[in-house]
């Protein structure tokens, strides 16, 4: 077979140039056979032989063997190492031109070839962006009525649409209008082909919204017909459309201007109604998407109070009993965004024993780092934004203190900092209630370690010293501070390059000396 293959490749080089039809067909059949037996090895040999460069000339509309050549390209492009060589050999442009063919087989193989070349390959997608493939594909798509043909074009479109430049080209070529039409035609059908097409079409629509430029173009200041149509998906009875609608809103909600406009125009109520329909045995993907949209909408400061008074916290809390980590994660993120700098809301949630107990439980979700991190951050946020003694008491009673102490040792500086600020508030407002838990969580030893570690960020050192001073009001913690040589560590920090750290070190040193 191997000798045979090299003979074929030599022969193909000659026949490809003078285009002797019969022997050419024979050579191509041999290649397809070899690829069927051992794709990787055959592809390596094809690349080494330099034959790829000759394929471009065999892909012209006049060529009688274009379908076979496209088939060979589709086969070799299953290998990642062959995708860039296919692009370098100039095969994209002739393949794109073949999409206008009337021949079924040519269309099928061309679609496969393009789909495989751009599958998962960033650089080949960039090459595609400089061709008119977006326009050609959309033109072709508009002409197609058959399900299989449309599916094939979808398969080429989906990987291409991952590239932001191509997203914009597809939007400009009118793909969105085609997709909206498909959705409208297929929404009430229960035929399997139609259900597939509805899913593929609405998924692709959401993918186009992941690009900043394409998303903004379709939003058109909230007046866009596309945006309006997507809004109408949310109250529909079709789960796939509800999901795509909620994901689309989450994607439109990627900048403050869009978020503010949508909240002012009643999107929150639509999303809350959708969530309400999925509380009991609901569809997890729809829950997750609707919560993602609410979380993003809650980011601009001006939206928080509006969403709180619309009752978003109550709607979100209905999912506290969910056992699905993706839903738990988004629920936590939404609440954390909503209470940012909203003291009253933070206090109300922080006194909610059911919520706080669930947070403490999720702080131990070792298998789900995301849920664990978000629970810790929400616990800390409840204290930081409410500055309320009642909230601190609720968290102490529910066993949350040890988690905040552990959070101070997180590998993420932002989380360490949030923990230290919350602990300093606890020490300032409710030291007596929390001292036993702070002692058994070994807070003083942890603070010593953070101050002695040269890798600790300046703000961590600063907040650790603030906390040490606040702990001096407790007899047992004060004793622990004396037993560990804090003065040595702190006096070294007086010469720290960060002014605030150096200043705080002087103050802390005075406090330790006076109290020793």
CA dihedral 186, 190, 192, 198 (to 10 degrees): 30
Q: Please, which pLDDT band fits residue 17 given cuts at 50, 70 and 90?
A: low
| pLDDT beyond 80 at 126 | no
Higher local confidence (pLDDT), 143 or 2: 143
Within a domain: 154: yes
Nearest to 498 by CA among 454, 449, 445: 454
Query: CA-CA distances (angstroms) from residue 281 to 235, 237, 323?
Result: 18, 16, 11
Measure the CA–CA gap between 449 and 287, rounded to whole angstroms: 42
Composition of the chain by helix, strand, coil, percent to 5: 80, 0, 20
| pLDDT beyond 70 at 21 | no
The pLDDT assigned to 141 comes to: 85
Measure the CA–CA gap between 112 and 106, rounded to whole angstroms: 10
Q: Is residue 330 a contact partner of residue 291, using CB atoms and an 8 Å limit? A: yes
Q: What is the pTM of this model?
A: 0.83
| pLDDT beyond 90 at 449 | yes
Within a domain: 291: no
Q: Please, which pLDDT band fits residue 12 given cuts at 50, 70 and 90?
A: confident
Name the residue range of residue 169's domain: 1-173
Within a domain: 406: no
| pLDDT beyond 60 at 506 | yes
Q: Is residue 328 a contact partner of residue 295, using CB atoms and an 8 Å limit? A: no
Within a domain: 256: no
Give φ, ψ of 142 to 5 degrees: -60, -30
- Looking at residue 190, the DSSP 8-state letter turns out to be -
Helix axis angle for 147-160 and 104-118, nearest 10°, is 20
Within a domain: 510: no
Q: Please, which pLDDT band fits residue 135 given cuts at 50, 70 and 90?
A: confident
The pLDDT assigned to 3 comes to: 60
Within a domain: 401: no
- Percent of all residues in the chain with a pLDDT value above 90, rounded to a whole number: 63
Within a domain: 15: yes
The pLDDT assigned to 270 comes to: 96
What is the mean predicted confidence (pLDDT) over 305-310?
96
For tokens 């206090």, the residue is 347
| pLDDT beyond 60 at 1 | no
What is the mean predicted confidence (pLDDT) over 252-264?
95
| pLDDT beyond 90 at 244 | yes
Q: Is residue 493 a contact partner of residue 462, using CB atoms and an 8 Å limit? A: no
| pLDDT beyond 80 at 128 | no
The pLDDT assigned to 142 comes to: 84
| pLDDT beyond 60 at 2 | no
| pLDDT beyond 80 at 144 | no
Q: Is residue 292 a contact partner of residue 336, using CB atoms and an 8 Å limit? A: no
The pLDDT assigned to 22 comes to: 67
Q: CA triplet 181, 184, 186: central angle to 5 degrees?
A: 105
Indicate which CATH number applies to the domain containing 136: 1.25.10.10
Q: Is residue 382 a contact partner of residue 339, using CB atoms and an 8 Å limit? A: yes
The pLDDT assigned to 148 comes to: 77
Range with lowest mean pLDDT among 396-410, 432-446, 475-489, 496-510: 475-489
Q: Is residue 486 a contact partner of residue 461, using CB atoms and an 8 Å limit? A: no
Nearest to 161 by CA among 203, 195, 196, 194: 203
483, exposed or middle or buried, with CB in 10 Å at 0-12, 13-18, 19+? exposed
The pLDDT assigned to 124 comes to: 66
The pLDDT assigned to 18 comes to: 63
Range with lowest mean pLDDT among 1-5, 178-182, 280-284, 424-428: 1-5
Number of domains in the chain: 1
Return mean pLDDT, the chain.
Answer: 90
Q: CA triplet 108, 113, 114: central angle to 5 degrees?
A: 100
- CB contact set of 135 (below 8 Å; sequence gap of 6+): 169, 173
The pLDDT assigned to 276 comes to: 94
Within a domain: 38: yes
Element (H, E) at 76: helix 66-76
| pLDDT beyond 70 at 25 | yes
What tokens appear for 163 in the block? 């590239």
What is the mean predicted confidence (pLDDT) over 253-261?
95
For tokens 């059908």, the residue is 189
**Max avg pLDDT among 55-59, 124-128, 440-444:** 440-444
Range with lowest mean pLDDT among 144-158, 163-177, 178-192, 330-344: 144-158
| pLDDT beyond 70 at 87 | yes
Range with lowest mean pLDDT among 12-16, 187-191, 320-324: 12-16
The pLDDT assigned to 331 comes to: 96
What is the mean predicted confidence (pLDDT) over 272-277?
95
| pLDDT beyond 60 at 81 | yes
């Amino acid at each position: 077979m191997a000798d045979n293959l090299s003979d074929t490749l030599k022969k193909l080089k000659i026949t490809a140039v003078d285009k002797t039809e019969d022997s050419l067909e024979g050579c191509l059949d041999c290649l397809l056979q070899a690829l069927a037996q051992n794709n990787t090895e055959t592809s390596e040999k094809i690349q080494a032989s330099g034959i790829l460069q000759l394929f471009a000339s065999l892909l012209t509309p006049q060529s009688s063997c274009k379908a076979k050549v496209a088939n060979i390209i589709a086969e070799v492009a299953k290998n990642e190492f062959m995708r860039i060589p296919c692009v370098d050999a100039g095969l994209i442009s002739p393949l794109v031109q073949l999409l206008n063919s009337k021949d079924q087989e040519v269309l099928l193989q061309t679609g496969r070839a393009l789909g495989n070349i751009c599958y998962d390959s960033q650089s080949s997608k960039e090459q595609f962006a400089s061709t008119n493939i977006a326009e050609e594909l959309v033109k072709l798509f508009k002409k197609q009525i058959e399900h299989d043909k449309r599916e094939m074009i979808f398969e080429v479109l989906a990987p291409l649409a991952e590239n932001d430049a191509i997203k914009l080209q597809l939007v400009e070529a009118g793909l969105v209008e085609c997709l909206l039409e498909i959705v409208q035609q297929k929404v009430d059908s229960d035929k399997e082909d139609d259900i597939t097409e509805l899913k593929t079409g609405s998924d692709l629509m959401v993918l186009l919204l992941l690009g900043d430029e394409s998303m903004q173009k379709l939003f058109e200041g909230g007046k866009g017909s596309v945006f309006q149509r997507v809004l109408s998906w949310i109250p529909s009875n079709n789960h796939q459309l509800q999901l795509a609608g909620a994901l689309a809103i989450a994607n439109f909600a990627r900048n403050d201007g869009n978020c503010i406009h949508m909240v002012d125009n009643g999107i929150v109520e639509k999303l809350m109604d959708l969530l309400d329909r999925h509380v009991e045995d609901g569809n997890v993907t729809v829950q997750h998407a609707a919560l993602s949209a609410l979380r993003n909408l809650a980011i601009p400061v001006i939206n928080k109070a509006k969403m709180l008074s619309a009752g978003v916290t109550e709607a979100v809390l209905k999912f506290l009993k969910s056992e699905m980590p993706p839903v738990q994660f988004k629920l936590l993120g939404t609440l954390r965004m909503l209470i940012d700098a909203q003291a009253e809301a933070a206090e109300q949630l922080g006194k909610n024993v059911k919520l706080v107990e669930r947070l403490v439980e999720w702080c131990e979700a070792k298998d789900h780092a995301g849920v664990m991190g978000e629970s810790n951050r929400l616990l800390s946020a409840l204290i930081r934004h409410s500055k309320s003694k009642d909230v601190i008491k609720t968290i102490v009673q529910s066993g949350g203190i040890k988690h905040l102490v552990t959070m101070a040792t997180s590998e993420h500086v932002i989380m360490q900092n949030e923990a230290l600020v919350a602990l300093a508030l606890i020490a300032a407002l409710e030291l007596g209630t929390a001292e036993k838990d702070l002692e058994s969580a070994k807070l003083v030893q942890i603070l010593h370690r953070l101050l002695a570690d040269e890798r600790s960020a300046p703000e961590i050192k600063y907040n650790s010293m603030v906390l040490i001073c606040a702990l001096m009001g407790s007899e047992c913690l004060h004793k622990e501070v004396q037993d560990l040589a804090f003065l040595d560590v702190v006096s070294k920090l007086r010469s720290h390059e960060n002014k605030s750290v150096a200043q705080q070190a002087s103050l802390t040193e005075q406090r330790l000396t006076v109290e020793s």
